[in-house]
Each structure stands twice: as C-alpha cells, then as structure tokens.
Amino acid sequence: MTGKLIIFSAPSGSGKSTIINYLMQQGLGLAFSISATSRAPRGTEQHGVEYFFLSPEEFRQRIADGEFLEYEEVYPDRFYGTLKAQVERQLKKGQHVIFDVDVVGGCNIKEYYGNRALSIFIQPPSIEELRHRLEGRGTDTPEVIQQRLDKAEYELSFSPRFDKIIVNDDLETAKAETLEVIKHFLSCEL
C-alpha cells in the first residue's frame, strides 16, 4: 500500500510547526518530507535530517537533471525544493508524507498528486496577531519580523487554492480540527 500526502502552507508565525509537531505524535504513521536547500545549516541541523544541504551549483545541476517535483529560488542562490525520488521512497514504504512548504510549492505539489494529496492552509486570525506571535517566539530580529509580515498579505491571498483552511485562533481547537480533517482524508479510499 502506498502512502498519501499532506501539505501545509501558511505565513510564517501562523502556528504551522506547532500543529505539525502535534500531528506527528498522534500515531498516524506520518513521516516528514525532507526538502533540499542551498542555505547553510542552522544550529544543530544535520544533512538528511532537517534538509539535504546542497551547494547552489549542485542544486542547479539537479534542477537541470529534472530531479525536483517543485523548487523555489527565494533569494538569489537560496533554493528550496522537493526531490521526487525522496518523496516516492517515503510513499512506497507506505508512509503518509507531511510537507511544510511555501504557498507556491504547496499548490504545485497538490496539482501534481491530485486527490492523493490534501493541502491545508493554516490561517492566523489577523496580521496583528501574527506580529504578536512572531515577537513572542523571539527567534527573529524586528527587521526579519517586518519582512515576514510584508510577505504575509501575499501568502494569505493563496488560501482559496487550498483544500482546507484552518484558522488558528484557539490552538487546541485548531489542532483538533486539523486532526479530524487528516483522519478523514486518510480513511478515504482513493
């Protein structure tokens, strides 16, 4: 039996990682998709765990070889992408693969896999609340927070393209709703 795909996209600070971490602990046989990136590893990040870390040259070569299901060049020489072979390997093992990708990547993966994939948009209650959460998380400088907020309006405009929108206002409600949607999706015959 091959697995299914569950895609999460959201503006930064919406609570996507918090909700994904919760779902991974629910015994649903979920595996996290390991993307490739040309950014440098941060902190304790390891090759093959958080990401496959490639140089920009290697990344370009693999694009030319058609190895990516989707990729984005977010800034010059800073690539993120999903390797086809990696996803297929996980699906063939019968794992259901969870993706944390930007809104464009999310739409592209959904288009490629059709009804084998469920795309979920995690929406913050407001931009103001997003600012509070990013400030509260304490991982970004004020400049980076402002950049993330500037991008959020654009990202929010993609929400109608997703199969499900989960408004993350009360966290416990959002977790429960997401779990319900995923259980239903996994129980459906293709």
List interacting residues with ligand 5GP (CB under 6 A): 12, 35, 39, 70, 72, 80-82, 100-102, 105
Q: Does 12 bind ligand ADP (CB under 6 A)?
A: yes
Interacting residue with ligand ADP among 13, 81, 105, 106 (CB under 6 A): 13
105 binds, among ligand 5GP, ligand ADP, none (CB under 5 to 8 A by kind): ligand 5GP
Give CA–CA dist 79/139, Å, rounded.
21
Nearer to ligand 5GP, 47 or 183 (CB): 47
Nearer to ligand 5GP, 154 or 184 (CB): 154
How many residues sit in the footprint of ligand ADP (CB under 6 A)?
15
Nearest to 13, CA basis, from 186, 110, 144, 108: 144
Neighbours of 36 (CB within 10 A): 20
Q: Dump the DSSP string for 120-154.
A: EEEE-S-HHHHHHHHHHHT-S-HHHHHHHHHHHHH
13 binds, among ligand 5GP, ligand ADP, none (CB under 5 to 8 A by kind): ligand ADP
What are the tokens at 35?
Answer: 């993307």
Q: Does 10 bind ligand ADP (CB under 6 A)?
A: yes
Nearer to ligand 5GP, 12 or 123 (CB): 12
Nearer to ligand 5GP, 21 or 173 (CB): 21
Interacting residue with ligand ADP among 78, 133, 151, 161 (CB under 6 A): 133
Nearest to 181, CA basis, from 56, 26, 18, 11: 26
Helix (H, G, I), strand (E, B), or coil: what is residue 179? helix
Q: Is the dihedral of CA 32, 38, 39, 40 positive or negative?
A: positive
Give CA–CA dist 146/148, Å, rounded.
5
Nearer to ligand ADP, 63 or 179 (CB): 179
Contacting positions for ligand ADP (CB under 6 A)? 10, 12-18, 133, 136-137, 168, 170-171, 174
